[in-house]
Chain A
Amino acid sequence: MTYRIEGRTGTWEIVVGLEVHAQVISQAKLFSGASATYGGAPNTHVSFIDAGFPGMLPVVNRECVAQAVRTGLGLAAHINVVSRFDRKNYFYADLPQGYQISQFEHPIVGSGVIEIELADGATREIGITRLHLEQDAGKSMHDQDPTRSFIDLNRSGVALMEIVSEPDIRSPEEAGAYVRKLRQILRYLGTCDGNMEEGSMRADVNVSVRQAGEAFRTRCEIKNVNSIRYVMQAIEAEAQRQVEVWESGGTVDQETRLFDPGRGETRSLRSKEDAHDYRYFPDPDLLPLVLDEGWVAGLKASLPELPDAKRARLEADYGVTRYESGVLTAEQAIADFYETVARGLDTRLATNWVLGDFFAALNRTGRSIEDSPVSAASLRALLGLITDSTINGKIAKDVFEEMVDTGDEPMAIVERRGLKQVTDTGAIDAAIARVLADNADKVAEYKSGKDKLFGFFVGQTMKAMAGKGNPALVNEALKKQLAD
Chain B
Amino acid sequence: MSLDTATVRRIARLARIGIEENETEGLARELNGIFGWIEQLDEVDVSGVAPMIGTGLATPRMREDVVTDGDRRDDVLSNAPDRVDAFFTVPKVVE
Residues of A within 8 A of B (CB): 26-28, 32-35, 41-49, 51, 59-65, 84, 91, 93, 140-142, 144-153, 258, 269, 277, 279, 282, 284, 287-290
Contacts and interface: CB of A to CB of B under 8 A. Distances in A.
B93 A28 contact: no
Contacts of B49: none
A62 B72 contact: no
Contact of A287 (B60, B69, B90, B95): B60
A149 B93 contact: yes
Given A33-B70, A46-B72, A48-B76, A61 B65 contact: yes
A23 to B, nearest CB: 14
A114 B92 CA distance: 41
Contact of A41 (B16, B86, B88, B90): B86
A148 B14 contact: no
Chain B CB within 10 Å — which of A46, A141, A284 has the most? A46
Contact of A148 (B54, B73, B90): B90
Contact of B69 (A33, A151, A152, A282): A33
A34 B67 contact: yes
Interface residues of B, number: 36
Contacts of B70: 33-35, 44-47
B67 A62 contact: no
B76 A145 contact: no
Contacts of A49: 69
A46 B63 contact: no
Given A34-B67, A59-B63, A269-B95, 19 more contacts: A27-B66, A28-B65, A35-B70, A45-B71, A46-B73, A48-B76, A51-B76, A60-B62, A62-B65, A63-B64, A140-B93, A145-B84, A146-B92, A148-B89, A149-B91, A153-B76, A279-B14, A288-B53, A288-B60
Contacts of B53: 84, 282, 284, 288
B19 interface: no
A384 to B, nearest CB: 42
B77 interface: yes
A35 B59 CA distance: 26
Given A43-B73, A51-B76, A27 B65 contact: yes
B87 interface: yes
Given A35-B70, A145-B89, A148-B90, A284 B54 contact: yes
B68 A28 contact: yes
A164 to B, nearest CB: 23
Contacts of A145: 84, 89, 92
A148 B92 contact: yes
Contacts of A277: 14
Contacts of B69: 28, 32-34, 47, 49
A58 B33 CA distance: 36
A62 B90 contact: no
B60 A290 contact: yes
Contacts of A45: 70-71
Nearest to B89: A148
B50 interface: no
Interface in B1-54: 14, 16, 53-54
Nearest to B77: A43
Contacts of B16: 91
Contacts of B95: 142, 258, 269
Nearest to A65: B62
Chain A CB within 10 Å — which of B58, B77, B84, B95 has the most? B95
Contact of A62 (B14, B62, B68, B76): B62
A60 B58 CA distance: 14
Contacts of B87: 42-43, 141, 150-152
A153 B77 CA distance: 11
Nearest to B59: A287
Contacts of B73: 41-44, 46
Contacts of A60: 62-63
Contact of B89 (A28, A47, A150, A282): A150
7 contacts: A43-B73, A43-B77, A62-B62, A63-B64, A149-B92, A151-B89, A287-B59
B72 A150 contact: no
Contacts of A146: 92
B84 A148 contact: yes
B91 A148 contact: yes
B86 A43 contact: yes
A159 B59 CA distance: 22
A50 B95 CA distance: 24
Contacts of B65: 26-28, 61-64
B67 A150 contact: no
A390 B40 CA distance: 94
B61 A44 contact: no
A88 B1 CA distance: 26
Chain A CB within 10 Å — which of B64, B69, B85 has the most? B69
